[in-house]
Structure 1
Amino acid sequence: MALDEGDYRHAADHVAGAITHAPTMPEVHEMLTRLATRASGGGLELFPLDEHVFIGAVVARAHLLAAAGRAGEGLELLAAATGHAPTVDWAGVPWVGAADLPDRLEPDQIAIVLMQICASVPDPVPPADRPPLLPYLRLAEHATATHAGHGLLLGASSALARRLGEVHTALDWALQGVRAEPSKLAEVWLGYAYRSAGRTGDAIAALRRASAHDPDDLSIYADIAGTLADAGRLDDAIGWIDQALARNPTFDCAVHTAHRLRYQRDGELRHLVALADFQRDHPDDSHEHHDLAECCHDRTWLARLPAAGGTVVATIEQALTRGLVPTRLSLRHPEPPSAMRLLRTEFPGLPVTVERTGSPDPRQPRRTSVRQLWNYAGWQADPAVDRPSTLASERIRQLAQPVWHHPPAAYDTAVSLATLDVEDLLGLLVHPPPPPKEAEVDPAGWLRCVQAWACLGMLHHRTDEPWPDSTRRRMLIDVAWGVEDWAAEAAVFALVTAAWVDPAVRQDVARVVAERFADAVDVAGHRSMPILWSLAHLALATPDLDARTAAAARRVAGRSARIPRQRRPGLIRRLLGLR
């Protein structure tokens, strides 16, 4: 309609929107052609590349450029669209897959486009995400046939094929590239192709030849080290990375790789802490690194929240997943107040009995001077602090999640809670808001998420105050030394995170964590201690923890979370060497 009325700008907006939703639909391209035919200059002025250009306009302009005989420019724009949204089939159109397209393009230009695609997708690309990228692989096939002796094009084609799972094709192209134009880059591409094919020895040989082309390129040393490490040859890998560090102790790729490999070899936390320090002190690395996240991945408290245990959690889970709603519940020993409160919320009026209390009384905080979060009436735990504000509840609902990349990343994410009042953050520990409607989480898991992130939020409270006498330290220590609750775990996690991001507080935090863990071990020698296992993992995540406490924590972490009832008082401490 807009086209018939001569409103070409309006028509162009509609075409750009349509091509965004259906980039290969013939009717959309037919309308684009009609618009180009009527508008002056082939319609290019209707799709300008402004500062905040719409992706549909970029793609439409790419097709118009190709139709105007400027296919190279059009291909570059399609590659840019793919870089922005790699899972959309922007290039699945006839002109990109035409066998004669490379005849009209310079091989260098094609190679750059293919490298641009490689830089915007993971290595390898997940199988489900590969179809939209296959037009570029067909382009590579036609281009390597047309420009058979072009080393850069062959290498870039190999890199793309390797990412798309075409390992044998990638190896063939890489070998052709090395024969056509021997170079450092060609050998690197060949090394990667060999590595994907599982031929580690050939991969190392190719990368060594690449290093011989340019001994000062320390990134190749990191590549060799990574390849050796993947083959299980950690000592050889570290030897190569040490050579790189000897040349330049601050070269980011070498530093990241060195800490990751050393952690893989001995599992010492200090390597990860040193890597976090390096990342903080060198924010302008040559490119993004994921070594710290890779090492922390799926490790308790380093990158994920541990699940809660106990009879209460199991009872709630069975009710939700199997419909087994209890009519009464008998507990052998007390469970954390957060769990007991959750039980009342899920099953109002459920009769609950506790067989034995044990000593010391778990309803009493471990230090009498701390602020109370709970009030007890028998075994009924009620919040002792006010409800948080609506703003605080909404803010935590948007943020709380059970996983993070690593402790410094969790700290950075929690900065959005910096403007909340500390009373709101305390209130969140015992008055969690309901989870987002779209979130599928169990009640216990959600509550623990809220508590962990609320305590991380406390780290951002009044950061101008010196740590030793700060409000944030005092509040977290109060929660940590309160009754044995999930909130105490969250508070210790926040203290541990503070030590990761600020070397100046490490000695203090290590001392606090060691004292809190030793107290938990002492209690476990007398009765059940439900948060002992989690505190052990928190201790193992603490920078600069003393060796004796670390050894004790490793022994606890390797055991069941529940201490058998027949243990005699003091036996646990003797077993762990804490006399």
Structure 2
Amino acid sequence: MDDPRRSADRDLEQARAALERGEVHHAADHLAGAIAHAPTLPEIHELLSRLAAREDGGLELFPLEQHAFVGTVVARAHLLAAAGRPEDGLPLLAAASGHTPGVDWAGVPWVSDPDLGARMDPGLLARIVMQLCTAVGDPAPEAGQAALRPYLTLVRHAVEAHPEHALLLGAGSALARRLGEAPQAVQWAARGARLRPSKLAEIWLGYAYRTAGRIPESLAALRRAVMYDPDDLSVYADIAGTLADHGRMDDALAWIDRALAKNPDDDCAVHTGHRLRYRADGDLAHLVRLADFQRDHIDDTHEHTDLAECCADQPWLSRVPSAPDTPPDPEREPFVAGAPSPAAVERLRRVAHPLWPSPPAAYDAALGLVLVEPEDLLALVAAPPEAPDDEVGRALAAHDPALWSRCAQVWACLGLLHHGTEEPWAESSRRRLLVELATGGLDRITEAALFALVTYAWVDPSARTDVATLVAGRLDEAAATAGLAWSIAHLALATPDMAPAVRERATAIIKAEENYTGPLIPRQRRRVAGRLRRWLSGR
């Protein structure tokens, strides 16, 4: 939690003292800590050079073990470079960059030295770059791109030395487009595709053209990739996604249908298909079917974010909405006695957050609350604790003070779902408790309990009819309650298998309240909430 430079200086001072005492292993430990805080600090590298001057080069002081500390890995990489083996150190440095891309692990002279690009085996460098690209995202987060640019400089030097190595050109193109260098990405990918035509070369070229905004050329390259391998349905999904992003939804869905006709269980085709169909008609059933597919196919070929993308920024699908405050219902009967334990409060504070990727993801995230007794969870619902004194808690206090207590109630209700899971839903204690909370009044507890019930309907198809009936009933009863009706209407829209007539009624309630221009102007609250969401999601 301290300033990184101060922490690095403290570790560096202890490393020097240990070295003066001849305690080289302690010195190495502190040096690894220092480099983790300030990886390019010259004083650290000066001390590393003293260890490199040892007869063994200091390598045994920084062993590679399972779950090695990142500072140890980076220090070993630098010692390998100092020993004349930079090609052995680079994979370690790249692994650190893949672990934390925003840290300037590679901002050291030996990585950007033109001699390294010339001496490294271009195939090895290409594989290192491909692994790095997989780890840093596409595109790489803007805030972390500067820390990755030394690798792009290295690739440029390597391409100058090996201008006809097609794999290096393709991998370099993938890195360049992740760092916003679209013209360079196109140039390298096009040269690689000419030198050694292949499916992978055309995919790299198609992605480079897409990043550069040259959509016809991108689609042409991806179609050529399909000709190389008609059974790689991930390329069909890429073509469909590109078409959809540029207003050609019918063509996009045609490509998805072609892919699903070949293999209805292909994960890329299924994820993309449900995402695009949801974009086309807004029917929640597509997302529910996607969640069901994810639950039944936990060994997909790679991680997909389609469900989270579709749920993003939608009330209850990905966040606790900021609606006009609803006071506690004076008619609600007290349902707990006593206060929650300090341990329960602490566990809730560690879990509760106003954002989540999707309802199934919220259900999974609440699993940690299985260690909190139901009585404590109910006490947390009845009397939410103060917000934690951390970055998120302070942001909530500044932008939307009421949102924390709503979050706490939501997550406490989600925690109830993880108790008594061996009981059949219809007769379970978790259902009984949540239904009592959802129907015991009309207030913020109502919406928190209803969201937990809706979340359970996402993860257990057998509960969907029951939950849809409960939510529809509460929507009717809350229709005249300003603020709460808007929130419960959004809950109805987030409920699997909700009847079309109820969805239409919920949509009408939302439009009516959002068009209201009375003292509590919803649009003003949404602007405040929007700023808060952008801050939270950008952390």
Task: Using structure 2 for the length normalisation, give the TM-score.
Answer: 0.88
Q: Within 2, Cα distance between the matches of 1:218 and 1:300?
A: 33
Give 2:493's aligned amino acid.
Answer: L
Say if 1:405 and 1:532 are closer, same or farther in 2 by CA, change over 3 A.
Answer: same
**8 Å CA contact retained: 1:228, 1:236:** yes
Structure 1 residue 437 and structure 2 residue 389: aligned? yes
In structure 2, stretches of 5+ residues that fail to align are 1-16, 519-539
Q: In the alignment, what sits opposite 1:478? A: 436
Q: In the alignment, what sits opposite 2:252? A: 237
Structure 1 residue 397 and structure 2 residue 353: aligned? no
Q: In the alignment, what sits opposite 1:464? A: 422
Q: In the alignment, what sits opposite 2:327? A: 336
Greater shift after overlay, 124-133 or 294-303? 124-133
Q: Give the superposed CA RMSD.
A: 2.0
Structure 1 residue 539 and structure 2 residue 492: aligned? yes
Give 1:471's aligned amino acid.
Answer: S
**8 Å CA contact retained: 2:486, 2:510:** yes
Q: Within 1, Cα distance between the matches of 2:246 and 2:468?
A: 36
Q: Within 2, Cα distance between the matches of 1:7 and 1:421?
A: 49
What is the deviation of 1:364?
A: 4.2
What is the deviation of 1:563?
A: 8.5
Secondary structure class of the residue paired with 1:434: coil
Structure 1 residue 455 and structure 2 residue 407: aligned? no
Secondary structure class of the residue paired with 2:512: coil
Structure 1 segment 199-278 matched on structure 2, within 5 A: 199-278=214-293
**8 Å CA contact retained: 2:323, 2:483:** no
Instruction: Spell out, residue by residue over 1:313-352, the C-alpha distance to the aligned partner (whole angstroms, 9 max, x if none).
Output: 4xxxxxxxxxxxxxxxxxxxxx5326xxxxxxxxxxxxxx
Instruction: Spell out, residue by residue over 1:29-50, the C-alpha distance to the aligned partner (whole angstroms, 9 max, x if none).
Output: 232222222x232222222211
Greater shift after overlay, 158-167 or 96-105? 96-105
Instruction: Spell out, residue by residue over 1:110-139, the C-alpha distance to the aligned partner (whole angstroms, 9 max, x if none).
Output: 111111221111221233211111110100
Q: In the alignment, what sits opposite 1:509? A: 467
What is the deviation of 1:385?
A: 4.3
Aligned with 2:338 (options 371, 378, 386): 386
Greater shift after overlay, 293-302 or 238-247? 238-247
Say if 1:520 and 1:563 are closer, same or farther in 2 by CA, change over 3 A.
Answer: farther
What is the deviation of 1:390?
A: 2.5
Secondary structure class of the residue paired with 1:41: coil
Give 2:506's aligned amino acid.
Answer: A
Structure 1 residue 12 and structure 2 residue 28: aligned? yes
Say if 1:18 and 1:420 are closer, same or farther in 2 by CA, change over 3 A.
Answer: closer
Instruction: Spell out, residue by residue over 1:89-116, the C-alpha distance to the aligned partner (whole angstroms, 9 max, x if none).
Output: 1112222111121221111011111112
Aligned with 1:102 (options 97, 109, 117): 117
Say if 1:181 and 1:387 are closer, same or farther in 2 by CA, change over 3 A.
Answer: same
Instruction: Spell out, residue by residue over 1:28-75, the C-alpha distance to the aligned partner (whole angstroms, 9 max, x if none).
Output: 2232222222x2322222222112322222122212222333221111
Greater shift after overlay, 228-237 or 261-270? 228-237
Structure 1 segment 550-565 matched on structure 2, within 5 A: 550-560=503-513
Greater shift after overlay, 457-466 or 296-305? 457-466
What is the deviation of 1:4?
A: 4.6
Q: In the alignment, what sits opposite 1:32? A: 48
Greater shift after overlay, 401-410 or 117-126? 117-126
Q: Within 2, Cα distance between the matches of 1:519 and 1:24?
A: 62
Secondary structure class of the residue paired with 1:560: helix
Q: Greater share of helix residues, 1 or 2?
A: 2
Task: Using structure 1 for the length normalisation, give the TM-score.
Answer: 0.82
**8 Å CA contact retained: 1:303, 1:407:** yes
Aligned with 2:140 (options 113, 117, 125): 125
Greater shift after overlay, 178-187 or 412-421? 412-421
Greater shift after overlay, 444-453 or 42-51? 42-51
What is the deviation of 1:561?
A: 6.3
Q: In the alignment, what sits opposite 2:334? A: 373
Structure 1 residue 75 and structure 2 residue 36: aligned? no
Say if 1:242 and 1:89 are closer, same or farther in 2 by CA, change over 3 A.
Answer: same
Number of corresponding residues: 496
Q: In the alignment, what sits opposite 1:168? A: 183
Say if 1:185 and 1:337 are closer, same or farther in 2 by CA, change over 3 A.
Answer: same
Q: In the alignment, what sits opposite 2:195? A: 180
Secondary structure class of the residue paired with 2:136: coil
Q: In the alignment, what sits opposite 2:373? A: 421
Q: In the alignment, what sits opposite 2:361? A: 409
Instruction: Spell out, residue by residue over 1:199-252, the C-alpha distance to the aligned partner (whole angstroms, 9 max, x if none).
Output: 111100000011111111111111111111111211111111111111111111
**8 Å CA contact retained: 1:529, 1:562:** no
**8 Å CA contact retained: 1:336, 1:530:** no
What is the deviation of 1:421?
A: 2.7
What is the deviation of 1:530?
A: 4.2
What is the deviation of 1:535?
A: 1.2
Moved over 4 A (4+): 561-565
Instruction: Spell out, residue by residue over 1:523-576, the C-alpha distance to the aligned partner (whole angstroms, 9 max, x if none).
Output: x2xxx45411111111111111112111211211222169899xxxxxxxxxxx
Give 1:196's aligned amino acid.
Answer: T
What is the deviation of 1:484?
A: 1.3
Give 2:498's aligned amino acid.
Answer: L
Secondary structure class of the residue paired with 1:558: helix
Greater shift after overlay, 293-302 or 43-52? 43-52
Q: In the alignment, what sits opposite 1:146? A: 161
Give 1:414's aligned amino acid.
Answer: A
**8 Å CA contact retained: 2:52, 2:82:** no
Q: Within 1, Cα distance between the matches of 2:322 and 2:20?
A: 63
Say if 1:563 and 1:31 are closer, same or farther in 2 by CA, change over 3 A.
Answer: closer
Q: Within 2, Cα distance between the matches of 1:508 and 1:563?
A: 33
What is the deviation of 1:394?
A: 2.2
Task: Determine which structure has more spread, i.e. the larger CA radius of gyration.
Answer: 1
Say if 1:157 and 1:561 are closer, same or farther in 2 by CA, change over 3 A.
Answer: closer
Q: Within 2, Cα distance between the matches of 1:493 and 1:517?
A: 13
